[in-house]
Amino acid sequence: MTWRDHLANLITAMGYEFVGCEQQGKGRGSVLRVYIDHAQGITLADCSKVSHQVSAMLSVEDPIQGDYSLEISSPGLNRPLFEIEQYRKFMGCRIKVRLSQPHNNQRNFVGILQQVDESDDIHLLTDTETVVLPFSSIEKARIIPDLE
């Protein structure tokens, strides 16, 4: 079991949804951002409570080399997507996707998430076409909020 699995189990046991986590930067300026959610929303008190527990777990397991800052956050309106099940949950939403490797000479895509097929490819309706992107090649993806 990885440290991320332990992290997910800890947060779930506390009654929250573990949305995912990401590390940005390296060295002294790096940040480990952990996203949590709850049906009633997330408050500052929730973030503080989870931060205390996650910090204790990380100091015991020590999975990340060097100094970093820990941030606990709600996913917000521009919710990040980490797991394939999250893509299935948000079909019909407008998303922004960045791939680790170019697809047809392009790494960034914006469009409506139309489908997640049985081989875990996502079908994205862009302004000009429907593109099929392998989930395994997605580096980062976020919901684009509909503010109208």
Report the Cα–Cα distance between both ends of the chain, in Å, rounded.
43
Cα(22)–Cα(131) distance, integer angstroms: 26
What per-residue confidence (pLDDT) applies to 29?
Answer: 77
What per-residue confidence (pLDDT) applies to 1?
Answer: 81
Of 1.10.10.10, 3.30.1120.10, 3.40.50.970, 3.30.300.70, the CATH number of 3-73 is 3.30.300.70
What per-residue confidence (pLDDT) applies to 7?
Answer: 94
Please give the distance of CA 10 from its chain centroid, rounded to a whole number: 17
What per-residue confidence (pLDDT) applies to 26?
Answer: 76
**Residue range 84-143, CATH number:** 2.30.30.100
pTM beyond cutoff 0.95? no
CA distances, 93 to each of 26, 79, 125 (Å): 32, 11, 10
**Domain regions of the chain by residue span:** 3-73, 84-143
Mean pLDDT by 10 residues, the chain (148 residues): 91 97 83 95 96 93 83 95 95 97 94 94 94 96 89
Same fold across 3-73 and 84-143: no
What per-residue confidence (pLDDT) applies to 137?
Answer: 95
Cα(29)–Cα(46) distance, integer angstroms: 25
What per-residue confidence (pLDDT) applies to 66?
Answer: 79
